[in-house]
């Protein structure tokens, strides 16, 4: 018994000593870097964006080759709220998720810094096949299911506005993804909006897809950002830059049309059939979709989400976007990766700048 106690004490001292020693070498690299993303699928969820590519193809791991840094990846099926909670519990250093929840986190005092855009998300609208719903305008007087306080929520309200409708013209029901499918099937709601998890429903004949944001002009798609906690960036500036460099290299790989099919098979790990992913990205350039620049377009998108959050009373406090964005890390990463000219900067409306 006494031996055991001694051993335990020794172990305790050792860990304390190690912990005390780490900050000395920490100036360079942390022991572990924890990254979080939105995930889908059963069993072990997986991501469907650039970060998932960076994970699967080892772009960020390559940046730390030869060091002892360990990368920890977590994909949250609970989406935004779960990621906000993980960040506030200090369980994550980096995270990639939709603008609406990350603005909610920031407005509630999460010390985060925006490092890069995560690109775009296509938002789909699915309707009961027995109803005559062919466009957003047909939703007047209908009951629609969305998960509120997500970028999908923003996308739907925005689409309604563009079609000349307002929130009052429809009844919005707040439902999670799985419940949306059940509610559509049970005819409790007339339409649902979500990511490509809705597409298999159409394949089974249970719904018709009447809206996709990628065809609704440049400002239709959902958006979000890749961010870091303030303390991590301040403590490990080099590691932060390496992570971002890995991310932009992943996006550049994704932007190469030759890798299109391979990317689809990687995203397939999240449970969506490759055929569905192919369909959902039909005709769109992945290079344009996964443009990570913090340009005027990104800023105008975020300003619109900040205004949306306030209008919908999702946030109580204001968020200062220019203080929240730190473009210097991305600039350095692009330069050192030789990708400065890979993406074109866009104006506020999403048109390429000369």
Partner 1 sequence: MPLDSKALDTKDRAGILHPPPLPWNGREAERGDGGRRLFRPAGAGRLPDRLLPFALPGALLASWQAVTAAGFMPEQVLPPPSLVLRTFIAFLGDGEIANNLLVSLRRIACGLGIGVVTGFAFGLLLGVSRRAEAYLGPLFRAFAAVPALGWIPVLILILGIDEALKIVILSKACFVPMVIATLDAYRNIPARLREAADVMRLSPRTRLLKLTLPAMMPMLFGGLRLSAGQAFVSLIVVEMLAATEGIGYMMVWGRTLFQIDIVMVGMAIVGVTGFLLDALLRRIERGIGARMGERTGSHG
Binding site for partner 1 (CB under 8 A): 80-81, 84-85, 88-89, 101, 104-105, 108-110, 148-149, 173-176, 179, 182-183, 185-189, 314-316
Give the SS3 label for residue 13. Answer: helix
Q: Which is nearer to partner 1, 182 or 321 (CB)?
A: 182
Strands 143-146 and 94-98, bridge-based pairing: unpaired
SS3 content of the chain, % helix, strand, coil (to 5): 50, 20, 35
Rounded Cα distance between 203 and 347, Å, is 37
Pick the closer one to partner 1 by CB: 129 or 217: 129
Q: Please state the closest distance from residue 154 (CB atom) to partner 1, in A.
A: 14
The residue (of 5 and 320) whose beta carbon lies closer to partner 1 is 320
What is the C-alpha to C-alpha distance for residues 177 and 309, in angstroms, rounded to an integer?
21
Nearer to partner 1, 71 or 201 (CB): 201
Q: How far apart are CA 270 and CA 37, in angstroms?
A: 12
**Residue with smaller CB distance to partner 1, 201 or 248:** 201
Nearer to partner 1, 39 or 255 (CB): 39
Min CB(314)–partner 1 separation in Å: 6
Q: Which residue has the tokens 């519990």?
A: 89
Closest distance between partner 1 and the C-beta of residue 32, in Å?
20
DSSP secondary structure of 177-243: HHHHHHHHHTTSSSEEEESGGGHHHHHTTS-EEEEEGGGS-TT-SEEEEEEEEHHHHHH-HHHHHHH
Give the pair of three-digit tokens for residue 339: 């990708």
Least distance from partner 1 to the Cβ atom of residue 301, Å: 21
Closest approach, Cβ 173 to partner 1, in A, equals: 5
State in angstroms the smallest separation of the CB of 182 from partner 1: 4
């Amino acid at each position: 018994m006494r031996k055991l106690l001694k051993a335990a004490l020794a172990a305790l001292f050792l860990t304390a000593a190690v912990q005390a020693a780490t900050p000395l070498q920490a100036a360079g690299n942390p022991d572990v870097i924890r990254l979080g993303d939105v995930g889908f699928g059963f069993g072990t969820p997986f991501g469907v964006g650039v970060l998932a590519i960076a994970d699967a193809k080892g772009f960020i791991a390559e940046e730390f080759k030869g060091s002892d840094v360990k990368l920890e990846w977590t994909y949250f099926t609970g989406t935004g709220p779960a990621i906000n909670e993980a960040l506030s519990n200090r369980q994550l250093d980096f995270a990639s998720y939709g603008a609406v929840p990350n603005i909610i986190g920031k407005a509630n005092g999460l010390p985060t810094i925006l490092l890069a855009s995560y690109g775009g998300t296509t938002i789909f609208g699915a309707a009961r096949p027995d109803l005559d719903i062919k466009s957003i305008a047909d939703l007047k007087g209908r009951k629609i299911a969305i998960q509120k306080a997500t970028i999908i929520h923003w996308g739907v309200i925005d689409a309604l506005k563009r079609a000349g409708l307002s929130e009052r013209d429809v009844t919005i029901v707040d439902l999670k993804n799985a419940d949306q499918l059940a509610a559509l099937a049970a005819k409790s709601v007339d339409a649902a909006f979500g990511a490509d998890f809705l597409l298999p429903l159409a394949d089974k004949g249970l719904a018709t897809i009447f809206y996709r944001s990628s065809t609704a002009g440049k400002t239709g798609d959902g958006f979000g950002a890749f961010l870091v906690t303030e303390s991590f960036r301040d403590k490990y500036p080099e590691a932060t830059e390496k992570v971002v460099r890995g991310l932009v290299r992943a996006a550049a790989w994704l932007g190469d049309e030759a890798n299109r099919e391979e990317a689809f098979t990687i995203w397939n790990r999240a449970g969506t059939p490759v055929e569905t992913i192919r369909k959902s990205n039909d005709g769109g350039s992945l290079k344009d979709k996964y443009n990570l620049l913090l340009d005027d377009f990104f800023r105008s998108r975020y300003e619109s989400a900040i205004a949306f959050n306030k209008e919908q009373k999702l946030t109580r406090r204001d968020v200062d976007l220019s203080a929240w964005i730190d473009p210097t890390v991305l600039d350095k990463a692009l330069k050192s990766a030789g990708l400065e000219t890979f993406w074109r900067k866009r104006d506020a409306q999403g048109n390429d700048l000369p």
